[in-house]
Amino acid sequence: MSERDTYDVVIIGAGFSGVHQLLKIRKLGLTAKVFEAGEDLGGTWLWNRYPGARVDSPMPLYQFSDPEIWRDWTFTEKYPGGKEIQAYFQYMDKKFDIKRDVSFNSRVVSAHWDDSLDRWTVTVDDGRVFQGQFLSLCTGVGSKYYIPRFKGLDAFKGEMHHSSRWPEDYDFKKKRVGVIGTGATGVQIIQEIAPDVAHLTVFQRTPNLTLPMRQRKLIADEEEKVKKDLYEISFKRRHQTFAGLDFDINPKLMRDATPEERALAFEEQWEKGGFHFWMGSFADLFFDQKSNDEAYAFWRKKVRERVPNPELQEKLAPMQPPHPFGVKRPCLEQRYYEVYSQPNVTLVDISKDAIEEITPNGLKTSDGVEHELDVLVLATGFDMVTGGITSIDIRGQDGIPMKERWADGVRSYLGVASATYPNMFWIYGPQSPSSFTNGPSSIELTSDWIIDCMKFMKENNISSIVPTAEAQHAYSELVDQLGAVGLWSRAKTSWYMGSNVEGKKTQMLQFSGSIPAYAKLCNDSAEKGYDGFHLKMASVQA
């Protein structure tokens, strides 16, 4: 039987967003096909299989809110590891037979819009061509990995792996391992492998202002009770808080609090662990440098207490903040700081002694030292937020590729669609709240909005929808203005701002005004019949 080639919706990506879209589209009675570059479901959790990969939003928040799904699935840890998230996807597949609508090992290379047919033509890397009325980009924020152009990169004779291309079951024990990068990924790898490797050399350019995870096991019987009493409330709460969590930023300003109130609040948030100290703290932490300095001083004290060596203290938690606290996404650690007191671990401060070149035997820093290595791990991050979209040759009404369109900066309407690219939506991408928030909170919000829009179009005989240039301009200005209120741009390199990738335009890439504010903008547009969009009626014959 030959493969069908026309669908209502073509979905790119089979992670949380793609799976949510597929399940909802099926319920709507439309046809959909998902194309996934990887060999299985999971998206970011399929690709990022490095040791220690772990979720940093607590359960029950980091999952789908559909009771049909959570009723029969219980996570075993408050912050589950990547393998358990992969198992969660397999569980969902068993339940819903997701894979029957997914084409794996299929990287979409191009998507071109035909204005006369109101159709997308999508081409996969093996040459297959498909058509869809809608294009749903579920490509995630971190699907395009980034390797800086280090001199001599090809000269290295040992093994070299980017964190998101970790070889399955790789045995790094008894090896001399070097890790470049101390973002969330680097921190997770470092704390996981440090006990087992012959030697670990960490090349740190900027210390990560990490927070304590405070992991705990979830007991199945207890969780059943929590499910009954709290799950529905927690999921509802996700759409009422700034970051889609079940707690909110303290609206009180730090500068209005007494020293005792501040000390108490800091201690309380710190003890709670996770993102509480970041997203549950005083609101002015995000826009007032003086208040931020105080939060940083508290953080520094806590970290230094765990690091006996004064030289290491200064590298890991310097007296002078490397950037305001919380303007780069903090990550959650479990035993990160203790690692550096191990005799087999060396921390190299490459902000002082920069990486000069990768040599056949290791890595040479500007102080003339050659660090000998068997394995080099590049935990150097991603072309975040935009990379998944711009790496596909997407052309809309005027034939201009998305990559070119966004070369001077991202522009969108509601962080979900772009003028001149009709019937194309993205989820958890540019100018949406995405990584300021708990993933599934944002994903469900946007995905449901898109589904409602498709339903509205079908019911009203509308064949295409596209943002107007005016609405796009006004929304993008708003995103810029909101971004400028915070201290975000004070970090030299930050993927929130696109400044982590050489040559990428620096701009606030996400909507930083909170989940409820974002939801209101999206819902207001929908309630006014998709205000800000141009709608085209289907022709009578069609």
Cβ neighbours around 542 below 10 Å, total: 9
Task: Supply the minimum distance, in Å, between the C-beta of residue 514 and ligand NA7.
Answer: 18
Task: Supply the minimum distance, in Å, between the C-beta of residue 153 and ligand NA7.
Answer: 11
Between CA 359 and CA 347 the distance in angstroms is: 19
Computed over its alpha carbons, how large is the radius of gyration of the chain?
24
Closer residue to ligand NA7 in complex, CB, 54/395: 54
Task: Supply the minimum distance, in Å, between the C-beta of residue 356 and ligand NA7.
Answer: 11
Task: Supply the minimum distance, in Å, between the C-beta of residue 286 and ligand NA7.
Answer: 17
- Asked if residue 326 lies in contact with residue 292, where contact means CB atoms within 8 angstroms, the answer is yes
- Asked if residue 105 lies in contact with residue 37, where contact means CB atoms within 8 angstroms, the answer is yes
Closer residue to ligand NA7 in complex, CB, 143/446: 143
Closer residue to ligand NA7 in complex, CB, 140/422: 140
Residue 420, token pair as written in the block: 């001149």
Between CA 232 and CA 244 the distance in angstroms is: 14
- What SS3 state is found at 81? strand
Of all residues in the shown chain, the one whose CB is closest to ligand NA7 is 183
Closer residue to ligand NA7 in complex, CB, 30/193: 193
Closer residue to ligand NA7 in complex, CB, 81/467: 81
Task: Supply the minimum distance, in Å, between the C-beta of residue 251 and ligand NA7.
Answer: 25
Task: Supply the minimum distance, in Å, between the C-beta of residue 292 and ligand NA7.
Answer: 18
Closer residue to ligand NA7 in complex, CB, 82/513: 82
Closer residue to ligand NA7 in complex, CB, 258/320: 320
**Site residues (CB under 6 A) for ligand NA7?**
142, 148, 163, 180-186, 205-206, 329, 350, 355, 379-382, 435, 493, 495, 500
Closer residue to ligand NA7 in complex, CB, 51/181: 181
Nearest to 346 by CA among 318, 319, 365: 365
Residue 17, token pair as written in the block: 């967003």
Helix H or strand E segment including 516: helix 515-527
Cβ neighbours around 283 below 10 Å, total: 16
Closer residue to ligand NA7 in complex, CB, 163/423: 163
- Asked if residue 204 lies in contact with residue 315, where contact means CB atoms within 8 angstroms, the answer is yes
Closer residue to ligand NA7 in complex, CB, 38/142: 142
Task: Supply the minimum distance, in Å, between the C-beta of residue 367 and ligand NA7.
Answer: 15
Task: Supply the minimum distance, in Å, between the C-beta of residue 149 and ligand NA7.
Answer: 8
- Exposure string for 428-438, b = 16+ CB within 10 A, e = fewer: bbbbbbbbbbb
Phi-psi region of 344 (alpha: psi -120 to 50; beta: other; left: phi over 0): alpha
Between CA 340 and CA 98 the distance in angstroms is: 44
Q: Which residues contact 144 (CB under 8 A, 6 or more apart)?
A: 382, 383, 387, 388, 390, 391
Closer residue to ligand NA7 in complex, CB, 104/145: 145
Between CA 415 and CA 434 the distance in angstroms is: 9
Between CA 285 and CA 326 the distance in angstroms is: 8
Task: Supply the minimum distance, in Å, between the C-beta of residue 434 and ligand NA7.
Answer: 10
Between CA 376 and CA 378 the distance in angstroms is: 6
Task: Supply the minimum distance, in Å, between the C-beta of residue 160 and ligand NA7.
Answer: 15
Closer residue to ligand NA7 in complex, CB, 147/400: 147
- Asked if residue 382 lies in contact with residue 141, where contact means CB atoms within 8 angstroms, the answer is yes
Task: Supply the minimum distance, in Å, between the C-beta of residue 506 and ligand NA7.
Answer: 13
Task: Supply the minimum distance, in Å, between the C-beta of residue 496 and ligand NA7.
Answer: 9
DSSP states of 17-48 as a string?
HHHHHHHHHHHHT--EEEE-SSSSS-THHHH-
Burial zone of 137 (CB within 10 Å; 0-12 exposed, 13-18 middle, 19+ buried): buried
